[in-house]
Amino acid sequence: MKKLTVLLAIVSIMVFVLSGCSKGETFTEKGYQSGESEIENIVIQVTDRELEISASEDDQIHIDYFDSEKEYLDISVSSSNELTVRLVTDKEWTDWIGTKPAAEYRKIKIKIPNHLLAGLTANTTNEAITISSLSFMENVNLTTNGGDIVCESIDVGKGITLTAKNGDITGSVIGGWDDFSIACEIKKGECNLPAKKEGGEKYFSADCNNGNINIEFVE
């Protein structure tokens, strides 16, 4: 009986310790502004972050986000005028136990000048990517594992590549049907576009696993 009591006490202490390590971090609101930096491309590499991308009201890039002492963004500009946004995590294994930070802390808002950037690449996990009313001179590449991709009124000079797992791909692309070659791959879902269509000076590519593709081309 004493052995059983001791064992239960040890288990209780372990549960207490592990749950104590999952307590919330302190998040601080941060902001980035490109200023006089000349940016041609943006690359976003994050995990467990929702991305909301829209047009800025000036000719600068604005990023609003939250940092903690163990999860923070590393934002830098390379000599080739590429802006990189990368999530850095500095956690012990016990820090991963427990609930996620509140949704407001896991959302990154990016505002981009319209018509001025060559391209955008964005990758995230377990959250959605929403992009609206933007034009790019070259390419847009968006990937999420565990979330939706929503594109509204996106205009590109060369092409769009969208990849989603366990989420839908929806929205609209600026241009006529004949302007694009199309390649779509879908598993466990439905698609309103053909698997392959040749022709067109631009390309549209979508790959969706366990979700639906519903994209409209609008003049």
In a domain, 164, yes or no: yes
In a domain, 137, yes or no: yes
Q: Are 208 and 169 in contact (CB under 8 A)?
A: yes
Between the alpha carbon of residue 156 and those of residues 110, 124, 188, the distances in Å are 18, 21, 29
In a domain, 83, yes or no: yes
pLDDT at 46 over 50: yes
In a domain, 177, yes or no: yes
In a domain, 14, yes or no: no
Look at the chain and report how many structural domains it folds into: 1
In a domain, 11, yes or no: no
Domain span at 159: 31-218
Q: For residue range 92-110, what is the model confidence (pLDDT) as tens digits? A: 655 555 667 899 999 999 9
In a domain, 104, yes or no: yes
Kindly state the tokens that stand for 59.
């000719």
Interatomic CA distance for residues 143 and 166, integer angstroms: 12
In a domain, 10, yes or no: no
pLDDT at 117 over 60: yes
pTM beyond 0.75, yes or no: yes
